[in-house]
Amino acid sequence: MMTTTTICSYLLLFAGDCPSSVTNMTYTEITKNGITYTTGIQDNPSHTVITNQIDNRKTATSVFDTQGTVTMGHIDVFKLNHIEYTYSIDLPPGEVVVYQHDDFYTYNSTWVDYCLKPQKLTIHVSGVFWGAMFRSFVWRLSVFVDTPDGDINNDGVVNGVDLGLLINEWGTENSQADLDSNGIVDSVDLHILLANWSNGA
Residues that bind Ca ion (CB under 5 A): 151, 153, 155, 162, 178, 180, 182, 189
Q: How far is the CB of 89 from Ca ion (least distance, A)?
A: 21
Q: Which is nearer to Ca ion, 84 or 162 (CB)?
A: 162
Name the strand (E) or helix (H) holding 163.
helix 160-168
Residue 119 CB: number of other CB atoms within 10 A? 15
Whole-number minimum distance, CB 166 to Ca ion, in Å? 10
- Of 141 and 177, which has the nearer Cβ to Ca ion? 177
Our CB check for Ca ion shows the closer of 42 and 61 to be 61
Q: Which residues contact 95 (CB under 8 A, 6 or more apart)?
A: 2, 145, 146
Of the candidates 111, 56, 112, the residue with the CA atom closest to the CA atom of residue 89:
56
Shortest spacing between CB 146 and Ca ion, in angstroms: 15
Q: How far is the CB of 192 from Ca ion (least distance, A)?
A: 8
DSSP states along 169-183 = TTT-BS-TT-TT-SS
